Amino acid sequence: DSGVTQTPKHLITATGQRVTLRCSPRSGDLSVYWYQQSLDQGLQFLIQYYNGEERAKGNILERFSAQQFPDLHSELNLSSLELGDSALYFCASSVGAGRGQDNYGYTFGSGTRLTVV
């Protein structure tokens, strides 16, 4: 157990629907990152939150949004789902927001596998 908890582990939904993926970071970590792993795009950074504030944004679609709550858990909301959104979505956490604060890489959860049918 890495200490980063993602729920649900699997999700099957229809095109056009909306889903919410949840992540609880490792105890003491303030940063949460979301990544998408798909066969055609590989592993791509979506978005980072640090202590409740958006810190960096990657290749995140406008149909996707995220937030980090006061208890530091984070949710990734995916709407108007398309077949191409089927992927493994990973959450990761780290102590700090920048390299100078934490040089040890960060900790990944085991992912949520989303299947859009």
Residue numbers at the binding site for another protein (CB under 8 A): 2, 4, 31, 33, 35, 42-45, 48, 56, 58, 90, 92, 94, 96-100, 102-111
Shortest Å distance, C-beta 45 to another protein = 4
d(CA 114, CA 117) in angstroms, rounded, equals: 10
Shortest Å distance, C-beta 92 to another protein = 8
Shortest Å distance, C-beta 81 to another protein = 23
- Collect all residues with Cβ–Cβ distance below 8 Å to 16 and sequence separation of at least 6: 80, 81
φ, ψ of residue 30 to 5 degrees: the values are -105, -20
- Name the token pair of 68: 């980090």
Which is closer to another protein, CB of 19 or CB of 91?
91
